[in-house]
Amino acid sequence: MKKVLFLFALLALTATDAYAQKFAVKSNLLYDATTTFNLGMEIGLAKKWTLDISGNYNPWKFGDDFTGTRTKHWMVQPELRLWTCEKFNGHFFGLHGHYAEYNVGGFKFLSANMEKNRYQGSLYGAGLSYGYQWLLNKRWSMEAVIGAGWAHLEYDKYPCVHCGESNSKERDYFGVTKAALSIIYFLK
């Protein structure tokens, strides 16, 4: 994780046009709604290109050890964006990757399977996205993004939220891989 952050800090320092509206920090309000800490940054690379990277972390376990809901995970999701007009304004298309490690289970509202089982493992994959950004003023902006793609999951399935006996599996997923409604602040 430290190497990834270092790489993106280095990219920020070497960007050829690092001035007004070339670097932004953001928070995904959808992650905030799930009690997931998140922070993103976006760097202007060229006239119509930016590099966005977001990371999130959720350390929570709700309820007791035997019947509680677990939402523990961390994820990083870099995305290369092509803007249709100018960067940080209007429509854009993106190519994103993702990597995560998770320990989730006990969700009564999702399905009986998620209520009775816990999944612990990792995932990686890639996808395409579309988004739109609204400039609010010189420093603030809002953004909506939706993306679809592929994720490969490797996990241990435990027969209850706390139990220790597992069944290892792998699976591929095709579907929504990115969703964001973000508030953005431009650093000048």
Q: Which fold has domain 2-186?
A: Porin (2.40.160)
Q: What is the pLDDT of residues 85-138, one digit of tens each?
A: 999 999 999 999 999 999 887 776 667 776 778 888 999 999 999 999 999 999
Q: For residues 76 and 66, which has the higher predicted lDDT (pLDDT)?
A: 76
Residue 3 has what pLDDT? 55
What is the distance between the alpha carbons of residues 151 and 81, in angstroms, rounded to a whole number? 20
Q: What's the predicted TM-score (pTM) here?
A: 0.80
Residue 100 has what pLDDT? 96
Q: Is the pLDDT of residue 5 over 90?
A: no
Q: Is the pLDDT of residue 74 over 60?
A: yes
- Measured CA to CA in angstroms, residue 57 lies from 37, 69, 93, 164, 187 at distances of 5, 16, 25, 24, 24
Q: Where are the domains of the chain?
A: 2-186
